[in-house]
Every structure is written in C-alpha cells, then in structure tokens.
Amino acid sequence: MAFKFEKLIVWQKAIDLSYEIDQLAKQFPKDELFVLASQIKRAADSVSLNIAEGSTGQSNAEFKRFLNIALRSDIEVVGCLYLGRRRKIITDEKFHSVYKLCEEILVMINALKKSLN
C-alpha cells in the first residue's frame, strides 16, 4: 500500500459504503436515476474520496477539514436513505444495514479527528 489512506480502516469502510450504495442505486426506478440515485451515489463516493484527499501530505488541520466534509457526506447518505425508504424504493432491511454502516463510519471519522489533536 503506497498511500497513507489505504491503511485507514475508516477509508476501507467508506469504500464498502460506496459499493453498497452503488448496488442499491442500481435497483432504483428509472425516474430516480438522475435524482435520488445520483445524489446518494455522489454522497457515498464523497466519503472515501475526502478521506483519501485529506490524508495525503496535509497538515492535521487540513486533514480535519476534509474529514468534516466526509462526515457531512456520510450524513447526506443517511438523509437519502430516509428519502428512499419513504418513497418505498429502499426496504427497511436494506435501510437498517446501510444506516448501521453509516453510523460506524461516523464514529470512526470522529475518532480519527480527535486523534489528530
């Protein structure tokens, strides 16, 4: 592993989140492809991408800034999950499994931010 972020478990979990969301979004109806499906995929991808970008050669303060963006994107995924469940696109079972992963990532990002003090 050549890059610092590749060793971060939170980044690995964020990659898992992106995969889960991609698989979920493929099941969305056509009228949601450029709406909710696109939004939730961008938000999920943003989590791992901001962790990666912030980890590389930045100061701790700059890394924290990128972690805050990743955190907000993680929360955006949760908001999209609620919309999808309300619109009957996402089952309760899938909602809860992805929600749990988002919670884990939230806790891990906050712990990583605290470790940078």
- What's 102's domain CATH number? 1.20.1440.60
Is residue 1 domain-resident? no
Neighbours of 41 (CB within 10 A): 19
pLDDT recorded at residue 56: 86
* Contact status, residue 70 vs residue 54, Cβ threshold 8 Å: yes
Which pLDDT tens digit goes with each residue over 12-43?
A: 999 999 999 999 999 999 999 899 999 999 99
State the average pLDDT for the chain: 96
Domain with 43, as residue range(s), is 8-115
Is residue 3 domain-resident? no
Average pLDDT, integer, range 51-73: 94
Q: How many domains does the chain have?
A: 1
* Contact status, residue 63 vs residue 105, Cβ threshold 8 Å: no
pLDDT recorded at residue 2: 85
Q: Which single residue is written with the structure tokens 């050669």?
A: 57
Is residue 28 domain-resident? yes
Is residue 72 domain-resident? yes
pLDDT recorded at residue 57: 73
Over 80: is that where the pLDDT of 69 sits?
yes
Enter the pTM of the model. Answer: 0.95
Is residue 20 domain-resident? yes
Is residue 2 domain-resident? no
Is residue 91 domain-resident? yes
